[in-house]
């Protein structure tokens, strides 16, 4: 069994097909342990640190940071037994580390091996130790034999008598393949096409850079990442010069004053989910303005209790509790449209929408209805802190059944939220403001908020949606009385 193991990008859950390499946590030559984090990958749902499947020494890293890789693609190779000595890549026993790295020029001088007969061990396409095929990374198995250019003033190495016919016979047929590596014109072009690796081409596309306008600084005039990044930064560097332009200059509305942001990761997933939900589920939104003065006083009393002094207590906690109690009174709200049937769920995976630097995510508290108020407060605190650090796992963002979005933290009164796919209701909780309110026949300053409930009208009709929203409002108007009456 080969001691060199290639680690493929795994499926991190929910059928994800690709991920972007944010950062490598190891480098070539590092000795790593089993389950040690080796790379941070951003999927469509979260940034995740992936652990190593084997202990050993990092042999090669196949993709740089910033690359978007499909699931199942090798991303790193690990020598699982580095103490066993150098790895032999040919029958001569020469270590792989001692073999020269083939240049672009030497690749152009590759001869095709005869079609008849087996390829000799050690030649490209021939057998190598461990039953593998000796290949150059990125070029695939080929029945070819590499030869070196003779050094000036040197004496070419003599081949053994049996091997001489195999080396000389294909010389004539190979002549037409020599133009594979055509001379570069110094502008990153070979034979009219631009020389650039796929990651460089993707970077240029994301940044809106035309590769045809660049002069390559890489081998054979190829265009490198640095060339693309310099070209992308050039308009910004030149921008101060416009200050000295004449006052009569015509205003520019071109691409140099536009910013192109790649749609990927969380943003792309959010766009796909919201578009699918908005045009699949018929949305209805209802609003309710509530006097929450008693709820704010209840929170103050709760904070004053000794066992709650170290607990994060916010109005959102009472809103979450109100939603969970209202679901028990109206179970149909916690359901999913499944085509020929409606799936009513006896558990509530309560989603809390969170705005992060990576975009909007909706992690959820599993089976939140079984939690006490203290357990619910702790779970919400952990959820928010994990989301802020960008470490929310895909599992924590999957399987939600009902969601709360707290738009009040942005000073907004309420909104018309879009349903997360697979859910039938979402509640928007607006800002709590001190406003004039009629209380006991007199206008007094009271704490008031506005709730907005969007629901799937295929499942929830107007009566059910209104009763559900009304129960949430009743709880927030007088939490103690609601608890006594409903529990």
Catalytic residue list: 457
Distances from the Cα of 334 to the Cα of 328, 339, 366, 426, 465, angstroms? 9, 16, 13, 10, 11
How many CB atoms sit inside 10 A of residue 162's CB? 8
Rounded CA-CA distance 179/197 in Å is 19
Comparing CA positions, the residue from 174, 178, 197 lying closest to residue 106 is 178
Q: What angle do CA 135, 137, 139 make, to 5 degrees?
A: 75
* Residue environment code for 421-441, b if the CB has 16+ CB neighbours within 10 A, otherwise e: ebbbbbbbbbbbeeeeeeeee
289: helix, strand or coil: strand
Q: In the structure encoding, which two tokens stand for residue 358, read together?
A: 């990576």
Characterize the bridge pairing of strands 18-24 and 68-70: antiparallel
* Residue environment code for 64-95, b if the CB has 16+ CB neighbours within 10 A, otherwise e: eeebbbeeeeebbbbbbebeeeebebbeeeee
């Amino acid at each position: 069994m080969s001691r060199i193991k290639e680690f493929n990008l795994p499926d991190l859950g929910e059928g994800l097909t690709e991920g972007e390499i944010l950062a490598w946590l190891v480098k070539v030559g590092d000795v790593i342990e089993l389950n040690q984090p080796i790379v941070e990958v951003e999927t469509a749902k979260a940034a995740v640190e992936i652990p190593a499947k084997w202990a050993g020494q990092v042999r090669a890293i196949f993709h740089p940071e910033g690359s978007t890789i499909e699931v199942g693609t090798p991303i790193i190779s690990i020598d699982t037994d580095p103490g066993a000595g150098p790895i032999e890549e040919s029958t001569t026993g020469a270590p792989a580390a001692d073999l020269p790295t083939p240049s672009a020029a030497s690749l152009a001088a590759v001869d095709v091996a005869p079609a008849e007969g087996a390829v000799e061990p050690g030649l490209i396409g021939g057998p190598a130790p461990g039953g593998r095929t000796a290949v150059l990374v990125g070029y695939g198995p080929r029945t070819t034999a590499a030869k070196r250019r003779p050094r000036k003033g040197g004496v070419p190495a003599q081949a053994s008598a049996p091997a001489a016919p195999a080396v000389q016979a294909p010389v004539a047929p190979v002549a037409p393949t020599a133009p594979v590596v055509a001379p570069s014109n110094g502008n990153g072009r070979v034979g009219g096409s631009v020389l650039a690796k796929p990651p460089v081409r993707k970077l240029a596309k994301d940044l809106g850079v035309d590769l045809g306008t660049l002069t390559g600084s890489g081998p054979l005039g190829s265009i490198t990442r640095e060339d693309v990044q310099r070209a992308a930064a050039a308009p910004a560097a030149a921008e101060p010069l416009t200050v000295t332009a004449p006052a009569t200059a015509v205003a520019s509305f071109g691409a140099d004053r536009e910013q192109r942001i790649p749609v990927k990761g969380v943003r792309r997933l959010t766009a796909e989910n919201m578009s699918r939900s908005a045009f699949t589920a018929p949305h209805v939104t209802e609003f309710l303005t509530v006097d929450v003065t008693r709820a704010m006083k209840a929170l103050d009393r709760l904070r004053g209790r000794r066992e709650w002094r170290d607990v994060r207590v916010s109005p959102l906690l009472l809103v979450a509790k109100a939603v969970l109690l209202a679901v028990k009174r109206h179970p149909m709200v916690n359901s999913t449209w499944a085509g020929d049937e409606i799936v009513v769920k006896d558990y509530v995976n309560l989603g809390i929408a969170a705005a992060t630097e990576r975009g909007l995510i909706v992690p959820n508290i599993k089976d939140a209805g079984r939690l006490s108020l203290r357990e619910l407060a702790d779970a919400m605190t952990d959820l928010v802190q994990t989301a802020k650090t960008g470490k929310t796992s895909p599992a924590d963002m999957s399987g939600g059944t009902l969601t709360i979005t707290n738009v009040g933290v942005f000073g907004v009164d309420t909104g018309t939220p879009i349903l997360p796919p697979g859910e039938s209701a979402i509640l928007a909780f607006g800002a709590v403001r001190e406003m004039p309110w009629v209380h006991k026949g007199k206008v007094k300053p009271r704490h008031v908020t506005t709730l907005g409930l969007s629901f799937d009208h295929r499942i929830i009709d107007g009566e059910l949606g209104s009763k559900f929203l009304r129960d949430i409002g009743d709880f927030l108007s007088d939490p103690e009385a609601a608890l006594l009456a409903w529990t």
